[in-house]
Amino acid sequence: MGSDFDWPETINAGKYEPSVNISTLTDPQKREVWEYLKTNHPDVAKVVAVNMADEMVLKLLEVFDAGILVEKKYLPKKFPYNNL
């Protein structure tokens, strides 16, 4: 009897966008990014806020030692991390 899964399977990953792990920023940088997002990109700020309030997301971040990535195009241009 055959499997329900056919391996290997090609997965479309989408377009790469340069991003910054905002979890690694200093507290003052995080505050500045947060204010910038709320003012200039409220839709992105909402996604970040919803995800950071989700206990499952927080647990996954902890278990996998992961961080929150935000595409550079949504961040203040003057920040040094924009040169990464």
Taking a C-beta distance cutoff of 8 angstroms, is the pair 84, 20 a contact? Answer: yes
Banded pLDDT at 13 (limits 50, 70, 90): confident
Banded pLDDT at 83 (limits 50, 70, 90): very low
Banded pLDDT at 58 (limits 50, 70, 90): very high
> What residues does 21 pair with on adjacent strands?
69
Domain locations in the chain? Answer: 19-76
CA-based nearest residue to 62, from 72, 47, 52:
52
pLDDT score for 5: 66
pLDDT above 70 (res 51): yes
pLDDT above 60 (res 72): yes
| Percentage above 70 pLDDT, the chain | 86
